[in-house]
């Protein structure tokens, strides 16, 4: 108490001056709307800045909880993706489509092995008989034809690559439907040869070559490649060099296609009497 009294005695002029100034400002603002509005505006600005800073600090310290939530969500989504990519439960599903009469259906597979340097190249896929794979099913990529399934085990399938001199595919010109037999000549992994196209057919470099649909394996209209060049051989037919649309050197994922009506078509065709 003694110290307080000594403080007041020592600084009583300053304290009195401050009290008079406060009283003077109070009188001025109380009776002058303009100054009063200015003070209120200033106080609101200071209050806004204060709350903004407080919110920023609070938000910063709340980032840890937000990051933990995002991390947990990312983990959950990654687990879903892993199950989707690695699942062995993705089978072929038959649809009883009585309206559109669906003929083809497919499932995805990953390429585990891919040879392109021999005359009889093949691929290995990560799905087998347990996932519905069967010999004779078509294999395609997002860019075009890849090959045909040759054999299957429980969990794997081997594919005769389009880069195999033993594989012939019925192919046609997209622009006019003239068809022939396409086969790899064992040279470049980027090219194949289309034969049996009559020499009177109009051909241009860059023409699209697609599957003809004249088999029970490939649906009609799957891209094979484009014409690079052509010559007449044997007098009546072209030998056409086709640049393949599928890049076999970077093949990672494929689709396997099954023909729902394959057996019905083969049974009927096989019942036709031989000459």
pLDDT at site 33: 55
Q: In whole angstroms, what is the distance from residue 4 CA to residue 12 CA?
A: 11
pLDDT at site 233: 85
Structure tokens at 133: 């794979």
Q: Which residue has the higher pLDDT, 44 or 171?
A: 171
Structure tokens at 227: 């014409």
Q: Which residue has the higher pLDDT, 261 or 151?
A: 151
In this prediction, residues 163-169 reach a mean pLDDT of 95
In this prediction, residues 145-166 reach a mean pLDDT of 96
88 pLDDT band, cuts 50/70/90, is very low
Would strands 208-211 and 191-198 be described as parallel, antiparallel, or unpaired? Answer: unpaired
pLDDT at site 107: 85
Q: What residue ranges do the domains of the chain occupy?
A: 2-83, 107-260
84-110: burial string, b at 16+ Cβ within 10 Å, e else: eeeeeeeebeeeeeeeeeeeebbbebe
Q: In whole angstroms, what is the distance from residue 193 CA to residue 247 CA?
A: 16
10-27: burial string, b at 16+ Cβ within 10 Å, e else: eeeeeeeeeeeeeeeeee
139 neighbors 221 (Cβ within 8 angstroms): no
178-227 pLDDT tens trace: 999 999 999 999 999 999 999 999 999 999 999 998 988 898 999 999 99
Helix (H, G, I), strand (E, B) or coil at 110: strand
256 neighbors 148 (Cβ within 8 angstroms): no
pLDDT at site 265: 74
What's the Cα-to-Cα distance from 2 to each of 5, 8, 10, 85, 194, rounded to whole Å?
5, 10, 12, 83, 114
pLDDT surpasses 80 at 45: no
234 pLDDT band, cuts 50/70/90, is confident
Which residues partner with 145 through β-bridges? 140
159 pLDDT band, cuts 50/70/90, is very high
Q: Which residue has the higher pLDDT, 78 or 121?
A: 121
In this prediction, residues 236-264 reach a mean pLDDT of 89
121-149 pLDDT tens trace: 999 999 999 988 999 999 999 899 999 99
For domain 107-260, give the CATH superfamily.
Answer: Rod shape-determining protein MreC, domain 1 (2.40.10.340)
CB-count burial class (<10 Å; 0-12, 13-18, 19+) for 164: buried
pTM: 0.63
pLDDT surpasses 50 at 39: yes
Reduce the secondary structure of 214-259 to three states and give it as a string.
Answer: CCCCCCCCCEEEEEEEEEEECCCEEEEEEEECCCHHHCCEEEEEEE
DSSP 20-59: HHHHHHHHHHHS-HHHHHHHHHHHHHHHHHHHHHHHHHHH
pLDDT at site 66: 62
In this prediction, residues 248-269 reach a mean pLDDT of 83
pLDDT at site 272: 75
Residue 144 Ramachandran class (φ > 0 left, ψ -120 to 50 alpha, else beta): left
217 neighbors 136 (Cβ within 8 angstroms): yes
């Amino acid at each position: 108490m003694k110290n307080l009294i000594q403080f007041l005695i020592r600084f009583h002029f300053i304290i009195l001056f401050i009290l008079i100034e406060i009283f003077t400002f109070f009188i001025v603002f109380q009776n002058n709307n303009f100054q009063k509005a200015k003070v209120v505006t200033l106080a609101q600005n200071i209050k806004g800045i204060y709350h903004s800073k407080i919110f920023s600090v609070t938000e910063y310290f709340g980032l840890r909880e937000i990051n933990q939530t995002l991390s947990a969500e990312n983990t959950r989504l990654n687990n879903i993706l892993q199950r989707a990519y690695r699942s062995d439960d993705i089978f072929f599903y038959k649809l009883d489509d009585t309206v559109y009469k669906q003929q083809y259906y497919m499932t995805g597979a990953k390429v585990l092995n891919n040879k392109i340097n021999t005359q009889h190249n093949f691929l290995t896929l990560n799905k087998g008989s347990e996932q519905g794979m069967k010999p004779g099913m078509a294999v395609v990529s997002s860019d075009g034809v890849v090959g045909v399934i040759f054999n299957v085990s429980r969990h794997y399938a081997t594919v005769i690559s389009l880069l195999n001199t033993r594989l012939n595919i019925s192919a046609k010109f997209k622009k006019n439907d003239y068809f022939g037999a396409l086969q790899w000549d064992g040279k470049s992994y980027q090219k194949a040869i289309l034969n049996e196209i009559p020499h009177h057919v109009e051909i241009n470099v860059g023409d699209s070559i697609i599957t003809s649909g004249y088999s029970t394996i490939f649906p009609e209209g799957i891209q094979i490649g484009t014409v690079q060049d052509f010559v007449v051989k044997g007098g009546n037919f072209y030998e056409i060099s086709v640049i393949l649309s599928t890049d076999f050197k970077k093949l990672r994922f494929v689709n396997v296609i099954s023909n729902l009506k394959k057996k019905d078509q083969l049974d009927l065709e096989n019942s036709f009497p031989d000459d």
